[in-house]
Structures are given as structure tokens and as C-alpha cells.
Amino acid sequence: MPTPTSIILDWGTSSLRAMLVSDTGETLDARETASGGIQFVKDGAFEAALMSVVGDWFAAHGSLPVLATGMITSRNGWVEVAYVDTPGGVPELAAGTKKLTLTNGAGITFLPGMRNPASKPFPDVMRGEETQIVGFGLDKDRTLVLPGTHSKWARIKAGRIDGFQTYATGEVFSLLTKHSFIAKAQDPVPGAEPDWQSFDRGAEFAASNDVSANAFLSAIFSARTGILDGKLKPENILDYVSGLVIGSEFRQARAAGWFKAGDEIGIVGNNVLNSRYGRIAPLFDLTIEPAPDNAAKRGIMLIAAEAAK
């Protein structure tokens, strides 16, 4: 087995994920526990919570450096780390880290999130996605999309993250299909393939030249009128709405200036949504640059290495 050289933590509100990694970013061991989620840690006993999960890694491999991301760096976490403003790259993110020394002598580095002060009407924020962007590579000017509950569109320029914007697409999808009268979806069969025909139907409308597609609040009502008209089936409505809302995210991102037809963009992350985003990109005349594996881990290690200089 390659030599472990660091421990990476994705430490969130509801769970703690820990990875033992080599200097090339290979994951040698991994653990996940709900009991380590910061909402379950009492009286600031974060070090004890950490040791209960990875104490044996230290015992076996010595005082490895620990790199921490996630809500553990927020006001409710162990150490609050201020956002680094865009534009910013690896040096700025490294300068924004905070460090502690654990009782066993290991150093723990807390990574900052990013803030876009140019966003309207208020500065936008992200916490974690910036490591994926850094891991993707900042060498070439381009736009990246990071699918998720709160997707990010980001622009790389001159080796730095120039700006970004959040789209609450995943959350709106969930609201519509779980709580709305418009598109109350039947539960999908576990493990079933998406109904790509319904997905494409929603996406193609969002990508169409019809001015109605500019009216998102109206377009979503089509999930209901499509069933009334016999063109959509209740069992496929989830995939139709998925295509429609992700397609609308692309349409709105284009209107907001994140790309134009003919561009090449990156789609980053290991999110299961990525295949859906990749399917929609060509409808907007976009080509896709492949993302490297484990972009987040690579980004964390690059920032930590710079911080250790």
C-alpha cells in the first residue's frame, strides 16, 4: 500500500467523512459517521469526536496532517474561517486557511469558503465547491458548472476563480416534485433508469427558441398541463421536471452571461446529476471538457500544500 501522507475531512452538519490519502491523492481508507456531524458534537468536543473516528490512523501512521472542509469551518463549527473574496486562486485560498495543533502534535488546517462580492443583489457564497474548481485546474480561462442542490456556475480567468453564481436548481426540483400540486411525482422504481425521453422533452423546451421558455414560473406549470393533455405520464413526471429545471438553469446561466453558444465548459464533481447536465449541454451548443477524478481532493491538497510553504 502507498504511504499515507494526510487525512482529509469532509465534516458537515449531519456527518463526518474522513479519508486517509497518499501524496498522489489516492484514498487508502475511508470512514463515515453520522455521530460526528457537527450538530451532534456537544460542548465543542470536536477533537474527541475526530479522534474517535481516526485515532487508529494516527496510531498506525504517526501525526499526519489533517485538512478540514465543510461546515466545520462555519460559525457553528470548530474554527470559523472567513470567506475569501473572488477573484482569488490558490495563494489567496491558502492565505485564508486557519491552523490548530492537535494534542498528538498533528496539525489540522481548516480551509476557507469563497464569497463573490460582485453578485447582485447580495454577495454570493460557497463552501467546498472552490476545492473542486481548484482541483479541476485553473490553468485555462473557462466556465465550469458544479451540479448540486445549490449548483454553482464559476468563471476561471487568469489562473484565479474570477466569480461564481449559485442556482438553487436541485432544491427547486425537490420542492416541485415532493411538495407541489403541479408535479407531485410518483416515487421512482429504485434503481430504474431515468425515462430519458421525458427528460429530453423538458430539456428541449427549456433550450428552445420559444419565448415562453424565458418564463420559468410558467414553464413549470407544463408538468401539469402535459398530463392534462395526455402528453406526459404521471410515472415520468419526475424526469420531465428534471430536464425542464436543469435545462432552465442552462438557459438562465446563458442569459446571465456565463456562456454563449459554441463555448467549451467543464462539469465538475462526482454528483449523480453530472450525467444529466452532460446530456443537456449539447442542446445549448456547448462542448464539455472532462473533469479529473477526485477534483475536490486534488484541490484540497493543492491549497494545503501552498499553505504549508
Positions touching a copy of itself (CB under 8 A) are: 119-125, 149-150, 165-169, 171-172, 175-176, 178-182, 201, 205, 208, 210-218, 220-222, 225-226, 228-229, 231-232, 245, 248-249, 252-253, 255-257
Distance CA 92, CA 130 (A): 12
**Which residues lie closer than 8 Å to 257 by C-beta, 6 or more apart?**
none
Query: CB neighbours (10 Å) of residue 29?
Result: 16
Distance, in Å, from the CA atom of 260 to the CA atom of 257, rounded to the nearest integer, reads 7
Contact 81, 96 (CB under 8 A): yes
User: Parallel, antiparallel, or unpaired: how do β-strands 287-289 and 264-267 relate?
Assistant: parallel
What is the smallest separation between the CB atom of 125 and a copy of itself, expressed in angstroms?
Answer: 6
Least distance to a copy of itself from the beta carbon of 295, Å?
22
Q: In whole angstroms, how close is the CB of 198 to a copy of itself at the nearest point?
A: 12
Nearer to a copy of itself, 109 or 274 (CB): 274
C-beta of 183 vs 301, nearer to a copy of itself:
183
Instruction: Give CA–CA dist 5/20, Å, rounded.
Output: 8
Residue 263 grid coordinates: 463555448
Please, what is the minimum distance in Å from the beta carbon of residue 204 to a copy of itself? 9
Beta bridge partners of 82: none
Judged by phi (left if over 0) then psi (alpha if -120 to 50, else beta), residue 171 lies in: alpha
Query: Order of strands, edge to edge, in the sheet holding 160-167?
Result: 160-167, 151-157, 142-146, 264-267, 287-289
Q: Compute the distance between CA of residue 294 and CA of residue 27 in angstroms, rounded to an integer.
A: 10
Residue placing its CB nearer to a copy of itself in the complex, 16 or 213: 213
Task: Please report how close the Cβ of residue 75 comes to a copy of itself at its closest, in angstroms.
Answer: 10
| Least distance from a copy of itself to the Cβ atom of residue 287, Å | 22
Q: Which is nearer to a copy of itself, 137 or 148 (CB)?
A: 148
Nearer CB in complex with a copy of itself: 208/270: 208
- Choice between 101 and 218, CB closer to a copy of itself: 218
What residues contact residue 7 under an 8 Å CB cut-off, 6+ apart?
18, 19, 20, 21, 54, 57, 64, 65, 66, 67
Q: Which is nearer to a copy of itself, 6 or 151 (CB)?
A: 151
CB of 272 to a copy of itself, least distance (A): 19
